Structure 1
Amino acid sequence: MTFGSGGRPHLGISFRTDDLGDAERARLSAMLGIAEEVGISRIAIGDSQWSHFDAVIVATLMAEQTERAMVGISPTNPVTREPSVMASVLAGLDSLSKGRACLVMASGDTAAYNAGLKPGRRAVIEDYVRCMRDLIRTGHASYQGREQVVRWSQWSYRPEAMIYILAEGPRMLRLAGRIGDGVVIGAGLLPETIEDALERVEAGAKESGRTLDDLDIWWTARPSLERTVDEAIEVAKGSISSAGNHSMRFGFEGKNVPPELAPQLERFVASYDTTQHQFAHGDNVRRMEESGLTEYFYERYGVVGDPPAFAARLRELQSRGIDKVWFAWGAGKLHHLELLRDEVLPAL
């Protein structure tokens, strides 16, 4: 029994590994085995030198230990790696995986801020993506006015590799529709945010002579799957608080924020501490709770609960038109995928 068949949602997962010792590699191997077993079709590692080891190493292990799922890095950014470097990574993964590599490009969050840098602007992201594509296809490109040349393009497994854009705000959603092979929408899972996001992606797609049907559209969600609902809610607090900050840090315009929550959101984002990003019991979680934003963030960004509640939430999202959910699982554990396989999937 697999995802994406019989009306079940397609699922993807992005997570991190906290070390690369024998036990961690064994855990990673077991998780990849379950992911392939149940038909999870996108498997990726986040790219943040702040929180975990190098994403390229882990993505290589993923490519070697899977056979069907697309594998790659989700998300990366245009700030901490040169496009020629990332193009080489993407082409290498594509060769290793025999055409299964993918990359999700975002503006940059903790990877940028905790290196004393600023996230990449939309124009930079567009230039970066174009540069990577040209390098993979021809070996020649330009980036920010600088010539880029590589010699490995002649050995690329494919002349194209799948590049998604992770988009939250209205202008990024439009950009994603215009330049992405696919879009990972992070605007939220509420009915009003879903409708608005699709309209903006569609507008961007039209600018490049395409329709929504030409794009591989996914929705990112913050998951927490535990034996009890209370435990799942507690475990998710760090991730949920980070989702609220990430999607609102550049302002609320065009983001379907209830007016009565705007003052609390503004204070929360202004005081967000990136050095405590996704900490389950840090100051960011405390401020989220004190601001009365917890329930709103869970409903807008989360898939949280015990197995029955988790399955019910996925069915609810399907009723809203979401049939491709890409989980940003953070430090995912083996028992999460075991619960997904043994108790959530049979209920769908």
Structure 2
Amino acid sequence: MTTLGVIFLPDRPPEALVPAARAAEAAGLDQLWLWEDCFCEGGVASAALALGATSRIAVGLGVMPVPLRNVALTAMEVATLERVHPGRLVAGLGHGVQDWMDQVGARAASPLTLLREYTEALRSLLAGEEVSVSGRHVRLEGVRLAWPPAGPVALHLAGEGPRTLDLVGELGDGLVVPGGYTPQRLHEVVQRVRRAAEAAGRERAPEVTVFLPCAFGPDAEGLLATHRERHGAAADGPPTEVWGDAEAVAAGVRRYAEAGADAVALQPMGDVDLDRFAAAAGEVRALVAD
């Protein structure tokens, strides 16, 4: 069965998050995903709010920009959330939008090297190991968490370039794919990641989560047109979104699942009522679970 979730977009105010998280859980969804966009809600704080307001649903943090966060601090925060809400946090890491990283003076000379060093160090810290490393970007001396998680924490990486995808296959437990992908393009990405995982001698390929823009109801086509115009997409271009009633959206979700998505997070198009969006997404989940 394809894991199905929804996304709480950072263009919504922070005070809307808790009601949205509860609505997603009430609708029977598997996941709620958050974005840490500069300079909106803090991702870890938001994840803590969503986890604390719910009891079952997984909360995906997709993704934390690694140039912005010292790896020891990320380990402390992820470990705290995992200990309090075991098995419910999906920790995502990424390069960060480079223009934003420039704005805060955090741009890395080699984002790929940073992501590799960061992922390796974070995994070791979360495993309770004492870590000393002197890399190009990550430097730690005798660092050990006082309160590591009881079990392993899956680290999901984001990226679109070929070398980043190869790194995901080598090191990541998951791949986070942004919106804007056709099923065919997603299939090509999944195959590359799987080849990289096989080349690294891994028994399991990373789990793939795709963010999928979505609109429900009679206004769906209007929301779709506005979304495409806002993102500079051709009105008659190949579909990278799903829209319509629950049956139509479920059919679209199945196409992405067939292309290799293990999880799909529906991304609202437009300023829609989040309770209604979550309820409609719950109907889709029931259909794709059949």
Q: TM-score, normalised by structure 1?
A: 0.69
Unaligned runs of 5+ in 2: none
Alignment partner for residue 219 of structure 2, among 213, 220, 228? 228
For 1:193, the equivalent position in structure 2 comes to 185
In 2, the alpha carbon distance for the partners of 1:315 and 1:64 equals 31
Q: How much does 1:73 deviate?
A: 1.6
Alignment partner for residue 182 of structure 1, among 150, 174, 177? 174
Q: Deviations over 1:29-71 (max 9, x none)?
A: 3332332244433323211232x22222211111112222332
Aligned: 1:135 with 2:74: no
CA RMSD of aligned residues (A): 3.0
State whether residues 6 and 278 of structure 2, in contact with CA within 8 Å, keep that contact through their aligned partners in structure 1: no
Aligned: 1:101 with 2:40: no
In 2, the alpha carbon distance for the partners of 1:221 and 1:111 equals 23
In 2, the alpha carbon distance for the partners of 1:14 and 1:148 equals 37
Provide closer, same or farther for how the CA distance between residues 85 and 328 of structure 1 changes in structure 2, counting only shifts above 3 A: farther
Aligned: 1:326 with 2:265: yes
In 2, the alpha carbon distance for the partners of 1:132 and 1:141 equals 12
Q: Which amino acid aligns with 1:33?
A: R
Q: Which amino acid aligns with 1:94?
A: E
SS at match of 1:194: helix
In 2, the alpha carbon distance for the partners of 1:133 and 1:320 equals 29
In 2, the alpha carbon distance for the partners of 1:94 and 1:210 equals 25
Q: How much does 1:308 deviate?
A: 4.2
Alignment partner for residue 29 of structure 1, among 18, 22, 31? 18
In 2, the alpha carbon distance for the partners of 1:42 and 1:61 equals 14
Q: Deviations over 1:124-169 (max 9, x none)?
A: 1011111111222214242526224545x23222352111012322
For 1:10, the equivalent position in structure 2 comes to 3
Aligned residues: 280
In 1, the alpha carbon distance for the partners of 2:206 and 2:119 equals 16
In 2, the alpha carbon distance for the partners of 1:87 and 1:95 equals 12
Percent identity between the two aligned chains: 21
Q: Which amino acid aligns with 1:136?
A: L
Aligned: 1:337 with 2:278: yes
For 2:199, the equivalent position in structure 1 comes to 207
SS at match of 1:64: helix
Alignment partner for residue 140 of structure 2, among 120, 128, 147? 147
Q: Which has the higher helix share?
A: 1
Q: Which amino acid aligns with 1:103?
A: A
Unaligned runs of 5+ in 1: 239-279
Q: How much does 1:188 deviate?
A: 5.7
Alignment partner for residue 155 of structure 2, among 153, 163, 169? 163
Provide closer, same or farther for how the CA distance between residues 72 and 191 of structure 1 changes in structure 2, counting only shifts above 3 A: closer
Q: Which amino acid aligns with 2:182?
A: L
Q: How much does 1:309 deviate?
A: 3.2
For 2:50, the equivalent position in structure 1 comes to 62
In 2, the alpha carbon distance for the partners of 1:49 and 1:336 equals 25
In 2, the alpha carbon distance for the partners of 1:42 and 1:64 equals 14
